[in-house]
């Protein structure tokens, strides 16, 4: 591991222009102002691939954590800290960001789609395995041991929905993230793919940035759930601190729910999504009150399913604390606490922009159909 240093923003930008670091450790006090910090963090986030950032500072209040989280900061490290602690955090963040050992299996009878997905995903360090003939699916699945499965809905003889059912029925693969590709976006097809255990779906024709974002988000969410599970089962290595680091640093909403829907914990990213002024405004309250009436029943059923030992994904609409409507997608799993009690752990992302774009696309399609 090689280290490069900079004592001001100008020098840092010069080094970033000439090199592509694996990670950036940033002390906001050397930047002069929060605007400079914000600008630098935005640049890191927009690089291809993005560069993870760790902030270490004496300021640890909620507002600072929230601002850093909104800019995509991976970890917030409080001063004073030892070199060993810094190295441990850096190693942890790099492990989170490492995709080189991540396998993707894509099953589609269209070779052009397989080629497009390879072109899109390989530059992100993902190893992409492709399969045209679903008859060989099980052999390829066990040989490649993918971290994520992409399935076309419509294929001759064996379709993607049937393949997903086979995967979900096997205990060794039941937790494998599954993303569907489909030319259909009508409610029946969407409900069908989610009913057989899909985690997400992407509409054809494929839009590059959308499919990359969805797959990377799904992979990161799955890694987060595994890290949390490890922290909960590793009490001998100060798991409370380990869990808190993951919880606070995660750029997507992480929440912990009781069986009746009471919000037990929510990270800064989640507080920002629901537009609460402070965590005390929402922690200890029932989360169902934020969900629009038409989705409240589905959310309650998902929570009940989790406390019965299952897991699931749901898209739903909320009304934030400031009265704004937002669409969210959540993936929830059961988590055992140190005292053996069960809570629901959910990773949630804001999909409002995707929903709006899909709505506009449907309007355009309807115009073409009627013209």
pLDDT digits (tens, 9 = 90+) for 212-228: 877 887 787 777 666 66
* Both tokens assigned to 47: 């690089």
Label residue 308 by pLDDT band (50, 70, 90): confident
What per-residue confidence (pLDDT) applies to 131?
A: 94
Label residue 316 by pLDDT band (50, 70, 90): very high
* Lowest-pLDDT range of 114-123, 215-224, 287-296: 215-224
What per-residue confidence (pLDDT) applies to 257?
A: 93
pLDDT above 90: residue 234? no
Q: What is the DSSP string of 178-242?
A: EEEEES--SHHHHHHHHHTT-SEEEESSP-HHHHHHHHHHHHHHHHHHHHHHHHHT-GGG-HHHH
* Both tokens assigned to 287: 């989360």
What is the DSSP pairing of strand 263-266 with strand 312-319? unpaired
Between 10 and 147, where is the model more confident?
Answer: 147
* Lowest-pLDDT range of 1-10, 106-115, 148-157, 177-186: 1-10
What per-residue confidence (pLDDT) applies to 236?
A: 44
Beta strands of 219-311 (E only): which ranges? 253-257, 263-266
Mean pLDDT of 320-343: 86
What per-residue confidence (pLDDT) applies to 62?
A: 74
What per-residue confidence (pLDDT) applies to 213?
A: 79
Label residue 151 by pLDDT band (50, 70, 90): very high
Between 338 and 44, where is the model more confident?
Answer: 44
Task: Return the DSSP state at 317.
Answer: E
Label residue 24 by pLDDT band (50, 70, 90): confident
pLDDT above 50: residue 77? yes
Which residues pair with residue 2 across a beta bridge? none
Domains of the chain with CATH codes: 9-97 (3.40.50.2300), 103-215 (3.40.50.2300), 250-371 (3.30.450.20)
pLDDT above 80: residue 364? no
CB 252 within 8 A of CB 225: no
Q: Which residues contact 324 (CB under 8 A, 6 or more apart)?
A: 275
Which residues pair with residue 180 across a beta bridge? 151, 201
What per-residue confidence (pLDDT) applies to 271?
A: 93
Q: Is the four-CA dihedral 169, 171, 175, 180 of positive or negative sign?
A: negative
Identify the residue whose tokens are 């309007």.
363
Angle at which helices 34-46 and 62-70 cross, to 10°: 40
What per-residue confidence (pLDDT) applies to 259?
A: 92
What is the DSSP pairing of strand 200-203 with strand 178-182? parallel
CB 138 within 8 A of CB 109: no
Q: Is 157 left (phi over 0), alpha (psi -120 to 50) or beta?
A: left
* Both tokens assigned to 200: 């997400």
Tell me the average pLDDT of the chain: 81
Mean pLDDT of 293-302: 92
CA atoms of 41 and 52, how far apart (whole Å): 9
pLDDT above 60: residue 241? no
Edge-to-edge order in the sheet of strand 342-350:
263-266, 253-257, 342-350, 325-336, 312-319
What per-residue confidence (pLDDT) applies to 365?
A: 62
The backbone torsions φ and ψ at residue 365, rounded to the nearest 5 degrees and listed phi first, read -60, -40
Share of the chain above pLDDT 70, in %: 82
pLDDT above 80: residue 354? no
Mean pLDDT of 15-32: 77
The backbone torsions φ and ψ at residue 335, rounded to the nearest 5 degrees and listed phi first, read -135, 130
């Amino acid at each position: 591991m090689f280290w490069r240093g900079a004592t001001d923003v100008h020098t840092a930008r010069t080094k970033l222009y000439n090199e592509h670091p694996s990670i950036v450790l940033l002390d906001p006090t050397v930047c002069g102002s929060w605007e400079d910090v914000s600008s630098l963090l935005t640049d890191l986030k927009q690089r291809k691939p993005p560069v993870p950032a760790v902030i270490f500072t004496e300021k640890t209040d909620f507002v600072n954590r929230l601002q850093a989280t909104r800019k995509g900061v991976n970890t917030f490290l409080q001063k004073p800290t030892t070199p060993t602690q810094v190295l441990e955090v850096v190693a942890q963040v790099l492990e989170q960001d490492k995709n080189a050992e991540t396998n993707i299996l894509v099953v589609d009878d269209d070779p052009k789609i397989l080629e497009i997905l390879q072109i899109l995903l390989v530059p992100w360090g993902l190893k992409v395995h492709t399969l045209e003939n679903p008859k060989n699916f099980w052999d390829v699945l066990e040989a490649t041991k993918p971290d994520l499965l992409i399935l076309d809905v419509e294929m001759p003889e064996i379709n993607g929905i049937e393949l997903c059912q086979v995967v979900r029925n096997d205990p060794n693969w039941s937790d494998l993230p599954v993303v569907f590709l489909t030319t259909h976006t009508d409610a029946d097809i969407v409900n069908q793919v989610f009913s057989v255990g899909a985690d997400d779906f992407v509409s054809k024709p494929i839009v590059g940035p959308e499919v990359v974002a969805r797959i990377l988000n799904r992979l990161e969410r799955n890694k987060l759930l595994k890290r949390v599970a490890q922290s909960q089962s590793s009490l001998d290595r100060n798991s409370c601190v380990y869990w808190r680091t993951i919880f606070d640093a995660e750029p997507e909403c992480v929440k912990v729910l009781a069986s009746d829907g009471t919000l037990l914990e929510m990270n800064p990213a989640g507080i920002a999504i629901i537009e609460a002024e402070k965590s005390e405004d929402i922690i200890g309250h029932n989360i169902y009150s934020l969900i629009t009436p038409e989705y409240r029943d589905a959310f309650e059923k998902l929570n009940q399913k989790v406390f019965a030992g299952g897991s699931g994904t749901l898209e739903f609409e909320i009304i934030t604390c400031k009265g704004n409507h937002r669409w969210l997608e959540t993936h929830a799993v059961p988590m055992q606490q140190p005292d053996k009690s069960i809570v629901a752990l959910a990773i949630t992302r804001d999909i409002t922009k995707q929903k709006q774009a899909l709505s506009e696309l449907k309007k355009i399609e309807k115009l073409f159909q009627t013209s």
